[in-house]
Structure 1
Amino acid sequence: MAKLNALVKKAKKGDNEAFIQLIKQYEQVLYKVANKLLNNDEDVADAMQDAILSAYEKLDSLKNPAYFNTWICKILINKCNSILNKNKNIFEAVDVEELQQQTNDSISKMELEDELNALNTDYKTAIVLYYIVGMNTKEISEFLKEPEGTIKSRLSRAKSILRSNYDKGGGVIGYVQ
């Protein structure tokens, strides 16, 4: 964490190499988030490029270096939403490798993706931020500007819906943590 804070401080002072190092550290997370939200590789690449450029240009607006991950993910999600609105696309399938690791039983990835597609956007957003980005409920709450209780409720309801849908469909979703 101290190294991250030092890199952010260097980048804010104009050290381009420090900024590049920061982006390299978060590149996989950014890709996963954009890939979960967008329909195709071109849109993912555009969103990532726009987000990185915006982050570089607005780095001075980051007040707390410890929140760099949350800050850049928010920029990326805003870029993704702009692309979705522009293309009039809907929230696309969520690749849920991390979610599958959280289950006790092996469930086919395709079945789980189908069930996630059935969730409303608020539930999917909470699931992606929690399981894919790795934010905790407090960070998600601050990020979405909604009460932490609302976020916890969405996560709980989404997991409950997934469990009940799998039970109805003959599949078993063990216990999503």
Structure 2
Amino acid sequence: MNQTERAQRAISGDEDSFTLLIQESREKIYRMAFTYVRNKEDALEIVQETVYRAFISIHKLKQPQYFQTWLIKIAVNCALDHIRKAKKIVYMDKEHEGNYEQKPREDVIDLHDALDQLDEKSRTVIMLRYFEDMPIKDISDVLDIPLSSVKSIIYRGLEKLKVNIGERESLG
């Protein structure tokens, strides 16, 4: 059974299908959450909130083929809500054991610091595009913004990242 069929069953109330869909997506949701908050406990809390919100509103999903897009949208909103509630500066978790291990730690921190300098929408678009490898069309759907706006945000965001990283390198 493919993902769309499982999503259709989940919409109809099949909890096992919903569980399978979540199991297939949990790492992606965790990575997205961790990219926002950069600590394991908060990321896991965001994953939990995402699953809860998805579970209680799965019946509202009109097109099962867009389950992944819908779930990522919920995860992004949960992460942003978490950050707004916390209202604190988030630091890189020194014990992080994620995808960033291939890069020197200072490069990861520089990139995260530079991302923190972007406005919320630019940071979200850049993270979805380059951290989650999401197609531009899907980003447009997730964030409910025109495709041309996504492209402009990516261009301006990357330019600002280059400036931010360049400033850090010249200071270091």
Q: Which residue does 2:131 correspond to in 1?
A: 132
1:13, 1:37 → 2: CA distance?
32
1:113 and 2:105 correspond: no
**For 1:70-127, what per-residue CA distance to the aligned partner results, in whole angstroms no more than 9, with x for missing partners?**
111111222222222222135766x9958x99xxxxx933332332222222221111
Q: Which residue does 1:4 correspond to in 2?
A: 3
C-alpha change, 1:165 and 1:34, in structure 2 (3 Å) is: closer
Return the letter of the residue paired with 2:13.
Answer: G
Q: Which residue does 2:73 correspond to in 1?
A: 74
User: Under a length normalisation based on structure 1, what TM-score does the superposition of the two structures give?
Assistant: 0.77
Secondary structure of the corresponding residue to residue 2 of structure 2: helix
More deviation, 140-149/59-68: 140-149
2:157, 2:40 → 1: CA distance?
27
User: Under a length normalisation based on structure 2, what TM-score does the superposition of the two structures give?
Assistant: 0.79
2:85, 2:168 → 1: CA distance?
35
Return the letter of the residue paired with 2:126.
Answer: I
Identity between Structure 1 and Structure 2 (%): 28
2:62, 2:163 → 1: CA distance?
42
C-alpha change, 1:53 and 1:86, in structure 2 (3 Å) is: same
More deviation, 27-36/120-129: 120-129
After the TM superposition, which residues 142-157 of structure 1 pair with which residues of structure 2 at under 5 Å, given as runs? 142-157=141-156
**For 1:5-61, what per-residue CA distance to the aligned partner results, in whole angstroms no more than 9, with x for missing partners?**
111112222222211110111111100111111253222222211211221121111
2:31, 2:50 → 1: CA distance?
14
Of Structure 1 and Structure 2, which has the larger fraction of its residues in helix? Answer: 2
Structure 2 spans left out of the alignment, 5+ residues:
none
**Cα contact 1:9–1:65 (8 A) shared by 2:** yes
After the TM superposition, which residues 71-110 of structure 1 pair with which residues of structure 2 at under 5 Å, given as runs? 71-89=70-88, 108-110=107-109
C-alpha change, 1:68 and 1:92, in structure 2 (3 Å) is: farther
Return the letter of the residue paired with 2:41.
Answer: E
**Cα contact 2:34–2:43 (8 A) shared by 1:** yes
Secondary structure of the corresponding residue to residue 112 of structure 1: helix
After the TM superposition, which residues 9-28 of structure 1 pair with which residues of structure 2 at under 5 Å, given as runs? 9-28=8-27
Q: Which residue does 2:59 correspond to in 1?
A: 60
Matched positions, count? 163
Q: Which residue does 1:104 correspond to in 2?
A: none
C-alpha change, 1:163 and 1:110, in structure 2 (3 Å) is: same
